[in-house]
Structure 1
Amino acid sequence: MCVVEVPSKADRYLEASVRENTSKSYAAALSHFEVAWGGYLPTTTESVVRYIAEYADQLALSTLKQRLAALANWHQSNGFPDPTKAPKVRQLLKGIRAVHPVQQKQAAPLALLHLEKAVAHLENEVAQARAVGNMAALLKGTRDIALLTIGFWRGFRGDELARLTIENTHAERYVGIRFYLGSTKGDRQNIGREYKTPSLSRLCPVEAYLTWIEAAGLNRGGVFRAIDRWGNISDRPIAAHSLIPLLRDTLGRCGLPSEIYSAHSIRRGFATWAASSGWDIKTLMEYVGWSDMKSALRYVEPAQQFGGLIRKLEG
């Protein structure tokens, strides 16, 4: 007789404490350590050092750190001493940075001017699609206007846009819109947070959201969904990793250089606009949800950093 072990309530809650994407990346990292490299778990600091050194000239430093995080998580979760916290591992990473310096690549910010151009093009697409009865094109254009304007004015990351739900979104035309996310990247305690933005006279995220929801006939589930060539809307929310090709396709249709953009471009665009518009660093951090200044400044174009934010800090 086969006995199926049912996870306890505690197990389910513990599993929920680790974000799905993190769990997948950790599993892939552990598989690489054990299968590709031939390591054993639990492991030792010496093995960790040899493993990281083996791939130091092949993998990005961020990838190496992710591998270390996966190993640390496995040992801590299973009650073993964490071999990644030894001083020798920190020294190794310092040496790798010195020998293999790499300039950090950042996505180009989506400037407000380009947002205006994209929305104008999409509105024209929607009008043409309505005229000829092309429901798929009408829905895609309507969705993409909402995606761009909400993403920009709220400074959302790609995974945050993907996790927005209709149940946790409250929009009032000509007034404003509120989003609630149960957890975010910087929310280690999973307290959740509400994000608000007002109605605007132009490029309005409130109007864009309501127009999309009404056109799609949605009343629950994910706000943003995939749409096939026949105009069928997926029952599931769009996956975070699919936002980059979706965004590039949208901006490419609008005549913008789509290859320079990523899912972070919308967030960087807003941060750069806010800085150039005179927002101080504290206001920007509170609005977007950054907990430290380095995170904020990574998203702001250097000209705006030193032209506005730093002066305000020093003043």
Structure 2
Amino acid sequence: MSDPEHYRQAARRESTARRYARVIEHFEAEWGGLLPASQASVGRYLAEHADRFSPGTLRTHLAALAQWHLQHGFVDPTKASTVRDVLRGIQALHTRPTVQAEPLQLQELEACVEALTREEQGDQAVVRLRACRDRLLLLLGFWRALRSDELCRLRIEFIRLDAAKGLTLFLPSSKTDRANLGRQLSVPALTHLCPVQAYEDWLGCSGLLDGPLLRNVDRWGRIGEGLHSYSIPRILRRILQRSGLEGEGYSGHSLRRGFATWASANQWSSKALMDYVGWRDVQSAMRYVDAEAPFGTLRR
């Protein structure tokens, strides 16, 4: 018999569940709050962290607290007008600029791929294997402007290879796909920095036939489970450092921002870029585009 809890768990994004769990631990263990919480204690919690966390982060903390109370059958204190007034006050008095991830520029992508290609030609099997995976991660993430969690959700059985044209990927779910309908994406074969060739090389090197596309590779060269989204920034920074580049400031959004900046500099229209990446509005897209890069002709 099917277990309803199994499907309830599937409805909640893994990354969101981990983030909410950390919030609850912070509220209880680090701050010393009691659950279920009162409106007054939630208000104090917000006020005491106004200098440390951005208003957006505090809204995430409120969402985590709200979910805990609803799941355990308690009244949600975060919806109280007093709590909302505190949050609005913090927003008014603690407005701060958004910290953007550094975009991975095309020249940096080329330098990284060159360094990884040299590693793939080395003597150590584990270094070759990891470099082959990292080259695919970079090229696929850049040319398809994928988020970290989307890269980690790619499965081999949902990928179709046409060597003459490219790859067809199926994403079972993503951040903007709240209904979990999935999305089909095409990846072109290129003459330079080709993600399709990187995909073929990785399958040949790893011997993988199904399951998660991007996997952990341990110190002995054993291929493990699929990567988690929180490991992508660390892998990216290590690639940059091994390529002789500065890794500070780069995150899981750097590949996505890098592609958007490249496309804008190459005069992609706003509609073409939004359709390709999957953005629903220009405001969302502009958060990823380097301010100095043209964004084509904006049309309403």
Partner of 2:88: 94
1:36 Cα deviation after fit: 4.0
Partner of 1:308: 295
1:136, 1:229 within 8 Å by CA — same for their partners in 2? Answer: yes
The reply on whether 1:46 has 2:40 as its aligned counterpart is yes
Partner of 1:279: 268
Partner of 2:183: 193
Quote the Cα distance in structure 2 between the aligned partners of 1:267 and 1:113.
15
- Cα deviation, 1:162-182, whole Å, max 9, x if unaligned, reads 221111111221311111121
Quote the Cα distance in structure 2 between the aligned partners of 1:121 and 1:37.
45
CA gap 1:308/1:245 in 2 versus in 1, 3 angstroms: closer
1:19 Cα deviation after fit: 1.1
Aligned residue runs from structure 1 range 25-174, under 5 A: 25-78=19-72, 80-127=74-121, 129=122, 133-174=123-164
1:45, 1:84 within 8 Å by CA — same for their partners in 2? Answer: yes
- Cα deviation, 1:87-145, whole Å, max 9, x if unaligned, reads 44333223213322322211110011211122122222223x1xxx4222221221111
Quote the Cα distance in structure 2 between the aligned partners of 1:53 and 1:204.
50
Counterpart amino acid of 1:167? E
The reply on whether 1:204 has 2:190 as its aligned counterpart is no
The reply on whether 1:237 has 2:226 as its aligned counterpart is yes
1:174, 1:200 within 8 Å by CA — same for their partners in 2? Answer: no
Partner of 1:255: 244
Quote the Cα distance in structure 2 between the aligned partners of 1:248 and 1:33.
31
Quote the Cα distance in structure 2 between the aligned partners of 1:154 and 1:245.
20
Q: After superposing the two structures, state which structure 1 stretch, 288-297 or 106-115, moved more.
A: 288-297
Aligned residues: 300
Counterpart amino acid of 1:261? Y
1:237 Cα deviation after fit: 0.7
2:109, 2:138 within 8 Å by CA — same for their partners in 1? Answer: yes
1:9 Cα deviation after fit: 2.0
Partner of 2:206: 216
Quote the Cα distance in structure 2 between the aligned partners of 1:44 and 1:195.
46
Q: Which of 163, 177, 202 in structure 1 is aligned with 2:167?
A: 177
CA gap 1:308/1:32 in 2 versus in 1, 3 angstroms: closer
1:170, 1:178 within 8 Å by CA — same for their partners in 2? Answer: yes
Structure 2 stretches of 5 or more lacking a match?
none
- Cα deviation, 1:38-79, whole Å, max 9, x if unaligned, reads 444444433322221122223333331111011222344455
Partner of 2:7: 13
Corresponding residue SS for 1:226: strand
1:183, 1:192 within 8 Å by CA — same for their partners in 2? Answer: yes
Quote the Cα distance in structure 1 between the aligned partners of 2:112 and 2:2.
49
CA gap 1:284/1:76 in 2 versus in 1, 3 angstroms: farther
After the TM superposition, list the runs of 4 or more consecutive aligned residues in structure 1 that deviate by more than 6 angstroms: none
Q: After superposing the two structures, state which structure 1 stretch, 73-82 or 184-193, moved more.
A: 73-82
The normalised TM-score by structure 2 is 0.91
Quote the Cα distance in structure 2 between the aligned partners of 1:260 and 1:26.
25
Counterpart amino acid of 1:251? L
| % identity of equivalent residues | 45
1:35 Cα deviation after fit: 4.3
- Cα deviation, 1:231-250, whole Å, max 9, x if unaligned, reads 2222x011221122211111
Root-mean-square deviation (CA), in Å? 2.2
Counterpart amino acid of 1:62? G
1:123, 1:141 within 8 Å by CA — same for their partners in 2? Answer: yes
Structure 1 stretches of 5 or more lacking a match?
1-6
Corresponding residue SS for 1:170: strand
Counterpart amino acid of 1:71? L
Corresponding residue SS for 2:287: helix
Corresponding residue SS for 2:298: helix
Give 1 or 2: higher helix fraction: 1
Corresponding residue SS for 2:157: coil
